[in-house]
Amino acid sequence: MNSTIAKKENHGWKAWLGSRQGQKVLVITTFMTLPLLLLFFFTYLPFGQMVGFSFFKMKYTGEKSFVGWDNYINVFKRKDCFGALKLSLYYMLGSVVQLALALYLATILSFKTKGGKLFKGFMFFPYLINGIAVGFIFKFFYTRGFVFDTVLQWCGFDLENLPYWLKDQAINNFSLVGTSVWRYFGQNMVLFIGAIMSVDATMYEAAMIDGANKWQQFLYIILPNIKNIVVLNVILSISGSLSAFEPPYVITDGANGTGTYFVIMHQIAHTQQKVGLASAMAVILLCIILLCTVLQKLLFKYVFKDVDDDSYSNEQAKKSKKAAKMAKKAAKMKTEVGR
């Protein structure tokens, strides 16, 4: 009996493959298998293992012994571990500045600008430089009496009054955050410009005909359309600032109170080879990041009430309706302002 069913299925299998539904399943499975496998092997599997490691006292090789929650308790007990998270406030501040700057410049550059391409190129350029080069560049840049000090002297500052940018603990974290903003604001800007440019051009035309000014175009056309990529970038930059790593790693190597949580974790994992403790640090940070993300999503839902990023299905239809509404709204506002 089983075999007859199998036969029947087998027979129907070909016909089913030819059908619309079958085609759909076929394309979905072929296109998604590899990405999902990669996602599993390089993200979720190691993550699972890392959670496992965090309950053991172990090195990369050799024996391991189960220690329960000890690693977690140690993360909170040790002064160098959890305290280092305070430094991420600097990076959070930096990422807010960076995103605002990127959005501002992207909006400017998405309207007609003389030499816009050149400006865009200059500002995007730092993103092209590799991390190690950035490290060398800024060690050089901040050295006493070198580039930064020279420029400030041109502006009338006295070298005597300038701090040691990488040694003075009152200022060195700002110096490092500055390098991070320097490096990434251009990339954010280009992402935003890309998103703004992919907005249906007829919307601008409609808005212009209806007499919407640039601010209104930004508010009612650009912003709603790039909402997704802005939200994504905000999420990425918050998690990015909690896990700030590169500037201190390549420039100061965590010296003089610039060791962020991850720099400390890297040292514990790879220099001291305390894999269990480092894993526990990673897991704790991940929980904090997830918590922040949830809070952030709630906030966004509260602020922009119509954010529902799970229902993309009717979006196309919604968008055109929305666009018409927006154009009308903008025109209405314009006439009101005119009066």
Partner 1 sequence: MTKDHGKTKQKIVNGIVSFFKYLSLVFFSFMAILPVVSCVITAFKTEEEYNTTNVMTLPKSFLNFSNFVDSFQQANMGRAFINSTIILICVLLISTLLGTQLAYVLSRFKFKGNGLIRNLFLVATLLPGIAMQIAVYKLMYTFGLINSLMGYIVMMCGTDVISIYIYMQFFDNLPISLDESATVEGANYFTIFYKILLPLLKPAIVTSCIIKGVATYNEYYCANLYLQDKKRFATVATSLYTFVGPLGSKYNLICAGLIISLLPALIIFITCQDQIYSGLTNGAVKG
| Residues between 61 and 100 with contacts to partner 1, criterion CB under 8 A | none
Near partner 1 by CB under 8 A, which window of 22-30, 71-79, 82-90, 159-167? Answer: 22-30
Distance CA 260, CA 246 (A): 10
Does 147 help bind partner 1 (rule: CB under 8 A)?
yes
Least distance from partner 1 to the Cβ atom of residue 241, Å: 11
Question: With CB under 8 A as the contact rule, which of the stretches 7-15, 81-89, 141-149, 169-177 interacts with partner 1?
Answer: 141-149
Question: Of the candidates 73, 236, 255, 298, which one interacts with partner 1 according to CB under 8 A?
Answer: 236
The number of C-alpha atoms within 13 Å of 149 and in the hemisphere containing its C-beta is 16
Please state, in angstroms and rounded to a whole number, the distance separating the CA atoms of residues 4 and 13: 14
How would you classify residue 208: left for phi > 0, otherwise alpha for psi between -120 and 50, otherwise beta? alpha
Does residue 119 bind partner 1 (CB under 8 A)? yes
Tell which one of 95, 279, 326, 327 touches partner 1 (CB under 8 A). 279
Q: Burial letters for 30-39: b for 16+ Cβ neighbours within 10 Å, e otherwise? A: eeeeeeeeee
Which three-class secondary structure string do you get for 101-120?
HHHHHHHHHHCCCCCHHHHH
Q: Binding to partner 1 (CB under 8 A): which residues in 280-299?
A: 281-282, 285-286, 289-290, 293
Closest contact distance (angstroms) between CB of 200 and partner 1 is: 6
In Å, how far from its chain's centre is CA 305? Answer: 23
- Among candidate residues 237, 104, 247, the one with its CA nearest the CA of residue 174: 247
The yes or no reply on residue 41 touching partner 1 (CB under 8 A) is yes
Give 172's strand partners.
none
Among 67, 81, 84, 105, binds partner 1 (CB under 8 A): 105
Q: If you compute the radius of gyration of the chain from its CA atoms, what whole number of angstroms results?
A: 26
Q: Does 38 bind partner 1 (CB under 8 A)?
A: yes
Cα separation, 197 vs 283, whole angstroms:
39
Query: What is the Cα–Cα distance from 76 to 284, expressed in whole angstroms?
Result: 10
Residue 187 interacts with partner 1 (CB under 8 A): yes or no: yes
Taking the least distance from each CB to partner 1, the nearer of 1 and 201 is 201
Nearer to partner 1 by C-beta: 2 or 306?
306
Distance in angstroms (rounded) separating the CA atoms of residues 180 and 144? 20
Closest CB to partner 1 among residues 264, 327: 264
Give the residue, chosen from 46, 89, 169, 272, that forms a contact with partner 1 under the rule CB under 8 A: 46
Q: In whole angstroms, how close is the CB of 235 to partner 1 at the nearest point?
A: 7
Q: Is 262 in the site for partner 1 (CB under 8 A)?
A: yes
Of the candidate spans 3-11, 73-81, 163-171, 312-320, the one that interacts with partner 1 by CB under 8 A turns out to be: 312-320
Q: How many CB atoms lie within 10 A of CB 104?
A: 13
Among 6, 10, 27, 80, indicate the residue that binds partner 1 (CB under 8 A).
Answer: 27
Residue 86 CA: distances (Å) to CA of 80, 155, 231: 11, 33, 24
Output 68 or 115, the one with its CB closest to partner 1.
Answer: 115
Q: Which is nearer to partner 1, 3 or 60 (CB)?
A: 60
Can residue 313 be called a binding residue for partner 1 (CB under 8 A)?
yes
